[in-house]
Amino acid sequence: MNSKTYNRFTAAGDRIACGSPEHLFMHEAAERARGILAEINAGSPSRARLAELFSLLTGSTVGKDFGLFPPFYTDYGQNIRVGDNVFINSGCCFQDQGGITLCDGCMIGHQVVIATLNHDLDPARRGDMFARPVVVGKGVWIGSHATILPGVTIGEGAVVAAGAVVARDVPARTVVAGVPAKVIKNI
């Protein structure tokens, strides 16, 4: 199995059964990601070097004017797409097996978590997982310590307040806050 095959599998929304070839591939991919993350998170790489390393991690070229303040964490890395003028602040954790798209002009605050996997609710199958993509629209600002859950799309120009837990789609040009996040303001 390779990342393209795996990404197609997760995009279909099929069950990732515990112990399956897809599940085992996730663990192999995590080892690859940890190796690249060790260089991203160690020392003081230049902005250009961080963009190179992030491109290596994701398997695709990041957009122009990419910014990253390490440390950064992911357990896969090969299903993240980054547009132009995207900034990711320090301490973020991306669980990207289901796919994470950061459109142009996104700003991701300190220690934001973006998750794309859920475990099966049945205790007998709790090791099984389901992947759902997260799409962060153009010009979105996600505040510090926010959590974005699987399957969420955040509309263009929206703001996610610090500490919010986003479990549903966010309309464009709104501010959401709280746990669970709700629209508190139109922009």
Domain boundaries along the sequence of the chain: 3-186
Tokens of 78: 């090969």
Average pLDDT over residues 163-174: 98
Q: Check residue 13 and give its pLDDT.
A: 87
> How much of the chain exceeds pLDDT 70, in percent?
100
- Topology, domain 3-186: UDP N-Acetylglucosamine Acyltransferase; domain 1 (2.160.10)
How confident is the model over 99-118, as pLDDT tens digits? 999 999 999 999 999 999 99
Ranges of beta strands (E only) in the chain are: 67-68, 72-74, 80-82, 87-88, 92-95, 100-102, 107-108, 113-115, 117-119, 129-131, 134-136, 141-142, 147-148, 153-154, 159-160, 165-166, 174-177, 182-186
pLDDT value at residue 183: 98
Instruction: Specify the pLDDT at position 104.
Output: 98
Residue 43 pLDDT more than 90?
A: no
Looking at the annotation, which residues are catalytic? 119
pTM as predicted: 0.95
